[in-house]
Structure 1
Amino acid sequence: MIKKFCVSLTAAKNDTDKATVAFVVANAALGSDQETLVFLSTEAVNLAVEGYADDIAEEGFAPLKDLMTNFAEAGGTIYVCAPCFKKRGLDDGKLIAGAKVVGGAKLVEFMAGGAPSISY
């Protein structure tokens, strides 16, 4: 049985509901004993910058910053699309805990064994 799970996220402040639900699902996957990866691309790469998610809170959910912190502290991995990050001129010296700026090959490596994925 495959014990990996990938959540792909493209939204940030442009769709805070998607961003929040993605991390709710990622935390649930970790809690289900899955090696879990969140892949941030396009607008979602902004979430990897310290302070960006601090004011995102959807009604009925924990604040996004808390969801992201809990995910990283529980051993989840956050990959940040390198070209998307660079395109936006973001500072990799200000990454949140657990985030790593990587190329697409790292995502392919994680998923190559058949890891299920969900996209938001």
Structure 2
Amino acid sequence: MHFVISATYGPTDPTRAMLPFIFAATALQDGGKVTLMLFADSVFTAVDGAAVRLVPVGPPNKYEDVVGHPDASVLVCKPCLEARGLDAAKLDKRVKLGGMSDFHSAAKQPDTRVINF
């Protein structure tokens, strides 16, 4: 199964910021495919080195398990990034810039479920 996940929480709430990655890592471990789209403040987690410093309360940090997985695609909302004054050159090189059209394309694929955090 393919899971398309939208994330909106950033580093100011590490536990909520990590929940989409935890869900994605679980889906990947179960043999699924994942498209994770970072919207709003969650774009800050894609700044190179930022996510590994997030310490969620309770569950473990699963950022590396997702961005490094061959069946996962992590997209950063380009308008969200620009609205926050972030430079794309500072992002983790494994993520890609995208927009709502990319999220929509992923969501309409067969055997797909959309999950929102």
1:105 to 98, 101, 105: 101
Correspondence for 2:15: 17
Matched residue, 2:82: 86
Higher mean Cα deviation, 93-102 or 19-28?
93-102
Structure 2 letter corresponding to 1:82: K
Q: Which runs of 5+ in 2 are unaligned?
A: none
Question: What TM-score do the two structures reach when normalised by structure 2?
Answer: 0.88
Deviation of the 1:78 alpha carbon: 0.5
Determine helix, strand or coil for the equivalent of 1:54: helix
Q: How many pairs were matched up?
A: 115
Moved more, 23-32 or 46-55: 46-55
Q: Which runs of 5+ in 1 are unaligned?
A: none
- Identity of matched residues, %: 25
Partner letter of residue 77 of structure 2?
A: C
Higher mean Cα deviation, 13-22 or 24-33? 13-22
Contact 1:79 1:99 in 2 (8 A): yes
Answer with 35-44 or 9-18: which moved more. Answer: 9-18
| Shift of residue 39, structure 1, vs aligned partner | 0.8
Q: Deviations over 1:37-79 (max 9, x none)?
A: 11100000111111222321123322x3xx1112122221111
Find the counterpart in structure 1 of residue 115 from structure 2: 118
Aligned residue for 1:53? 51
The residue that corresponds to 1:96 in the other structure is: 92
Output the TM-score relative to the length of structure 1. 0.86
Once the 2 structures are TM-superposed, how far is the Cα of residue 83 of structure 1 from its aligned partner?
0.4
Tell whether 2:71 aligns with 1:71.
no
- Checking the alignment, whether the CA contact within 8 Å between 1:17 and 1:58 is kept in structure 2 is yes
Q: What secondary structure is seen at the aligned counterpart in 2 of 1:93?
A: helix
Separation (CA, whole Å) in 2 of partners of 1:39 and 1:17:
17
